[in-house]
Structure 1
Amino acid sequence: MKNNSAAFATSTSSFEAGAIPISESQGVQIKTLAPTKSEADHEIKLEGAFNVRDLGGFVTKDGRRIKDHLLLRSARLNHLTKNDIQVLTHQYNVGIDFDLRRPQEVAEAPDMKMPGVKYINDSVDTDESFHYHINDRNNRKHYRSYISNQRAREAYHDLFMTLLNANDKAVLWHCASGKDRTGLGGALIMYVLGVDMATIFDDYDASNDFLRAHNMKRLEALKTAGASRDELELARVDGGVDRSYLHAAFDEVKKEFGSIDAYLVNGLRISKRQQRKLRKQYLI
């Protein structure tokens, strides 16, 4: 699902190229380093969940590395098997399940309970911001709401506070498909930890690969049920991400706050001291 609008790409390419003000507290020059693992190697393969990934292994601009088995992202967790729960709680030491979905979504597909894991539901969306006709233009508008809405800012603030107080347990944050609300959360976390923008966008875009099998099954089911061409196109757009969506969120950051660093401090209320603590906590 690529949007090839030249005008849009030109207006936002500086974000992906890494030309974003870096916090003075990071004190490093911008450069791109390849991760020590391929994108595919970040996947956690479960039987009852999809688009599950460990951010461990990504390299920062100053040569440090995100610790393994501490920062996990995924889609909904309502079909976890006993073996999946064993993998998450024992192999990955998950201590907190941070659910970014709206209460209505949670009620329709509640997460499976995991022993010893604290569950937190902290919705990014309001009912007003969630309901819209799905297309590329509206999806970009929706991503802008992740920045402008107070509810979204509170949810991402709470996610960062949870990371700060995880006590060496892994935090798993997720939404429905693990690509939009979860994807922006992952991008912000990687930015705070000092990962370069090219890698952040590649990881965001990787949801298209991790969701491909799930989406193909969904489209085949719709075709079998006699879905129209418009319905199939809507499902295709809804099932993936486009880099222009994340660009739109960062454009809104620049519009409202001037820079990502200012947004983190003034919008999400994550102080520079707390950001330094996060880097100390999650990097080696």
Structure 2
Amino acid sequence: MKRHNAAFSNTTSSLEAGAIPISESQDVQIKTLAPVKAEADHEIKLTGAFNVRDLGGFVTRDGHRIKDHALLRSARLNQLTKHDVDILIHEYNVGIDFDLRRPQEVAAQPDVKMPGVQYINDSVDTDESFHYQINHRNNRQHYRSYITNQRARTAYHDLFMALLKTDGKAVLWHCASGKDRTGLGGALIMYVLGVDMQTIFSDYVASNDFLRAHNQKRLALMKKAGATEAELATARIDGGVDRSYLESAFDEIAREFGSIDQYLVDGLKISRRQQRKLRKKYLI
């Protein structure tokens, strides 16, 4: 545990200290820092889906802003209503539905088809990495597998390629609850766009707030069905995230690649030129 904390501390301190200054990696001029959008204002309220958010409005370290209605994250989309679909297509201009779940999850709860929206299923997990006893320690280890697992690297590479290739349409990426696989994807995208680490972590743990009502209903149903205290405790862990999970992923990146910048280039095969294109495409 000490090695984990030290490695993450070195990673974040070098990022915050500007060892690789954002201004050197972005072909943009420094702007006056715009007011920060409240976390709650990023939510997209839908009837048949939860933990749906728009990254638009987050401000980068050099004062640029992520475009609205361009980068969306969500939990599963298997219960979208017709009105939900209309909102995503007509208000948020969704063009790609990028599903990070395993094929078995997709088969059990397939996304509602959205007219004119390209559906991509690209699993982060393998069967071997997905099944484990849920507790904080194992969850941290599971996040490390997102970095070491080639299947995960391929999925996140493909997600970035979808962001590059979409032509004026928003990309929505999601998993089951929109917090783990989706959360790491969101953190990496925000990092590439130049958002500071404090904001990245704040957005990551905000899933606990956006999932609260959903989890309360789940726990109430479990209690009614006679669930034990141990089962309820496991469900509480399963229903949320902990900062240490994302820290573990970044620590694994530091251990294997030395930095997030090198992981993006060598691990995910996202070139620095492609990262510049992403910043030009998604920042204002």
TM over 0.5: yes
Alpha-carbon contact 1:54-1:73 (below 8 Å) kept? yes
Map 1:42-81 onto structure 2 (within 5 A).
Answer: 42-81=42-81
Match of 2:114 in 1: 114
2: CA distance, partners of 1:16 / 1:257: 14
1:199 aligns with 2:195: no
Match of 1:160 in 2: 160
Match of 1:238 in 2: 238
What residue identity is the alignment partner of 2:116?
G
1: CA distance, partners of 2:282 / 2:105: 30
Which of 1, 12, 30 is matched with 2:8 structurally?
12
Map 1:133-172 onto structure 2 (within 5 A).
Answer: 133-172=133-172
Map 1:245-260 onto structure 2 (within 5 A).
Answer: 245-260=245-260
Match of 1:268 in 2: 268
- What is the CA distance between 1:21 and its match in structure 2? 4.3
- What is the CA distance between 1:155 and its match in structure 2? 0.3
- What is the CA distance between 1:51 and its match in structure 2? 0.1
1: CA distance, partners of 2:50 / 2:227: 24
Aligned sequence identity (%) = 75
1: CA distance, partners of 2:182 / 2:35: 20
Q: Aligned with 1:234: secondary structure?
A: helix
Cα distance change, pair 21–134 in 1 and its aligned pair in 2 (3 A)? farther
Alpha-carbon contact 1:60-1:194 (below 8 Å) kept? yes
What residue identity is the alignment partner of 2:154?
E
Cα distance change, pair 78–20 in 1 and its aligned pair in 2 (3 A)? farther
- What is the CA distance between 1:26 and its match in structure 2? 3.5
Alpha-carbon contact 2:7-2:255 (below 8 Å) kept? no
Match of 1:95 in 2: 95
How far does the alpha carbon of each residue in 1:112-137 deviate from its partner, in whole angstroms, 9 at most, with x for none? 00000000000000000000000000
What residue identity is the alignment partner of 2:184?
L
- What is the CA distance between 1:265 and its match in structure 2? 0.2
What residue identity is the alignment partner of 2:244?
S
Match of 2:41 in 1: 41
Match of 2:222 in 1: 222
How far does the alpha carbon of each residue in 1:73-98 deviate from its partner, in whole angstroms, 9 at most, with x for none? 00000000000000000000000000
1: CA distance, partners of 2:17 / 2:134: 30
- What is the CA distance between 1:36 and its match in structure 2? 2.4
Alpha-carbon contact 2:53-2:74 (below 8 Å) kept? yes
What residue identity is the alignment partner of 1:50?
F
1:189 aligns with 2:192: no
Structure 1 alignment gaps of length 5 or more = none
1: CA distance, partners of 2:127 / 2:35: 38
2: CA distance, partners of 1:189 / 1:108: 28
2: CA distance, partners of 1:252 / 1:199: 20
Q: Aligned with 1:119: secondary structure?
A: strand
Alpha-carbon contact 2:60-2:193 (below 8 Å) kept? yes
Match of 1:127 in 2: 127
2: CA distance, partners of 1:19 / 1:242: 24
2: CA distance, partners of 1:73 / 1:20: 28
- What is the CA distance between 1:6 and its match in structure 2? 9.1
What residue identity is the alignment partner of 2:53?
R
- What is the CA distance between 1:9 and its match in structure 2? 5.3
- What is the CA distance between 1:25 and its match in structure 2? 1.7
- What is the CA distance between 1:154 and its match in structure 2? 0.3
Matched pairs, number: 276
Aligned Cα RMSD in Å? 1.9
How far does the alpha carbon of each residue in 1:149-193 deviate from its partner, in whole angstroms, 9 at most, with x for none? 000000000000000001010000000000000000000000000
- What is the CA distance between 1:7 and its match in structure 2? 8.7
Normalised TM-score (structure 2): 0.93
Structure 2 alignment gaps of length 5 or more = none
